[in-house]
Amino acid sequence: MVMTLRQERDSMGAVEVPADAYYGSQTARAVANFQVSGLVLPAALVHAMALVKVHAARVNADLGLLDARLAGAIIQAAREVAEGRLDHQFPVDVFQTGSGTSTHMNLNEVVAGRANEILTGRRGGREPVHPNDHVNMGQSSNDVVPTAIHVAARRAVADDLKPALVRLASVLEKKESEFKPVVKIGRTHLQDAVPMGLGDEFSGYAAQVRLGIQRIDAVRPRLEELALGGTAVGTGLNADPAFAPAVIRGLARETGIGFVETRNHFQAQAAQDTAVELSGAVKTVAISLVKIANDLRWLASGPRCGIGEINLPALQPGSSIMPGKVNPVIPEAVIQVAAQVVGNDATISFAGAGGHFELNTMLPVIAYNLLQSIALTAAAARILADKCIDGITANRNVCAANIERSLALVTALVPEIGYDRAAAIAKAAHASGRTIREEARAGGMLDEATLHRLLGPPFTT
């Protein structure tokens, strides 16, 4: 989840670092003069950029372009960043230059400064390792930042979102099986419809989640295409032709993800269509979670004056004034997460339109919102599965009583007596307050054996 700079530092047990203590002091001090929000880019994005630096230094050394001693120090420093050990070194605001160059140069300076400390014992500086000439060799913000967005998002999907959705689908499928014998009234237009299985209802929820996983998986081939190698405008200026393919192979080996070089560097840097596509898929999952969460709230409403067909786990007191009231906390939290994800998707869609000529210049806000949406949706799916659905029980008596009272039960009589006569029974039952079974019996239209065959056995407490 994305946090403010102070929250990030507090969560790591870190303290405020004086400006002169930063490895990348030039950028750190400069951006302090125009903080807009106090929000920083997700650590996952910085870690992904640092992984690029690790493999870039290795490849440049292999190509004979970078001194092996300098490359070794860069690799060690960049590894420390990628492992989160220097997260407090990145104070740059989300709202910055649209290419993400401020954060990228902060990274180059941190890596160079730490590498110099490794080599000389003196923190910071630009000798012997230079942030541009050595750490950034063969690269540009314009290809590194889009690459990092794809790497960070792809890893977040694999490590966080997909396992959470698989868990949610599995728990729903468990409830589908558990509730298979429970018959309840269906509802359309918020009105009574024909009977159905409670397990059938949960099977629909499970299918929604499984389809959401498929939608996210469908973006994977495009998400695994990386912009690295295009440098400034997509032409690859100042990069050895062998550089990007070798770096990307290194990233693929390390992460176990099938990253490949983009088929067209110009689109990869000028547009962020894949980020927009992935955001749309995540938003669709979030909307599915809203449908599920809202149904659970309604089905558990009551406990005595609502539908009350299921029971949700009670997590906390639900009212500051009404003793004993318990609210559907988890479903309501999930719905609020979805609202945030929908808003993030609107932001990402707008930002995706910010590609002008050879560069999209809204990369930081895309990264921030996309990674937040992935993290929030994963967390919502996980908590919905573990803190809510796994503990749901069926109120079987309520389900059976609702069926017996429902006027929609008359639908089962239509094949036997026709639509119009069935409608007359429903109208009469509604006026008299009797059940369909009682009204049909009273009118003498059907004998007891036929009613039992068509409607099943009557509900008894």
Give 185's contacts (C-beta < 8 A, 6+ positions apart): 192, 193, 194, 195, 196, 399, 402, 403, 406, 408
User: CA-to-CA distance for 458 and 390, rounded, in angstroms?
Assistant: 31
Catalytic residue among 11, 37, 177, 319: 319
Under 8 Å between Cβ of 441 and 414? no
Residues paired with 183 in a beta bridge = 197
Q: Which residue shows structure tokens 């004086």?
A: 18
Nearest to 395 by CA among 264, 460, 307: 307
The answer to whether residue 349 is catalytic is no
Residue 322 in tokens: 């009404």
Strands 260-261 and 225-226: parallel
Strands 359-360 and 355-356: antiparallel
User: CA-to-CA distance for 432 and 146, rounded, in angstroms?
Assistant: 69
Give 290's contacts (C-beta < 8 A, 6+ positions apart): 334, 335, 338
The answer to whether residue 11 is catalytic is no
User: CA-to-CA distance for 422 and 194, rounded, in angstroms?
Assistant: 14
* Catalytic positions: 189, 319
